[in-house]
């Protein structure tokens, strides 16, 4: 499995395979904050936990940087809510 990349300029975590991209996008509403907007996994890449891996990569960076997180993405929000160490980082 390829690794997840983070493009800070595009505010995007990505996973590429066979010309397809699974990705998570975010915004920066303020210093020390990220707001997750979308987690998208194309159907051919589905069912393998890629969405969770994308959210995990983002949350590892949030924790490492001592930031706060918010989300309007239903998928990311659900994972953040059910993971105690992540929900503690909510803005």
> What are the backbone angles phi and psi of residue 75, rounded to the nearest 5°?
-70, -50
- Tell me, what CATH number does 24's domain have? 3.40.630.30
Angle between helical axes of 74-82 and 50-64 (0-180°, round to 10):
60
If 0-12 CB within 10 Å is exposed, 13-18 middle and 19+ buried, where does residue 82 land? Answer: exposed
Residue 91 confidence (pLDDT): 86
Contacts of residues 24-28 at CB distance under 8 Å and 24 or more positions apart, as own/partner, are 24/51, 24/54, 24/55, 24/57, 24/58, 24/73, 24/76, 26/58
Tracing tokens 């949350």 back to the chain, one arrives at 59
In tens, the pLDDT along 23-36 reads 999 999 999 999 99
In tens, the pLDDT along 9-28 reads 999 999 999 999 999 999 99
Its domain, for residue 68, covers 5-87
User: Domain total for the chain?
Assistant: 1
From residue 90, alpha-carbon distances to 8, 83, 84 in Å are 20, 11, 10
In tens, the pLDDT along 35-89 reads 999 999 999 999 999 999 999 999 999 999 999 999 999 999 999 999 999 999 9
pTM: 0.95
């Amino acid at each position: 499995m390829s690794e997840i990349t983070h493009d800070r300029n595009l505010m995007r975590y990505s996973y590429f395979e066979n010309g397809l991209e699974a990705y998570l996008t975010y915004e920066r509403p303020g210093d020390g904050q990220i707001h997750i907007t979308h987690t998208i996994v194309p159907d051919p890449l589905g069912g393998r936990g890629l969405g969770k891996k994308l959210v995990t990569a983002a949350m590892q960076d949030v924790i490492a940087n001592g930031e706060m997180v918010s989300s309007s993405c239903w998928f990311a929000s659900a994972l953040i809510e059910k993971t105690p160490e992540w929900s503690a980082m909510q803005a």
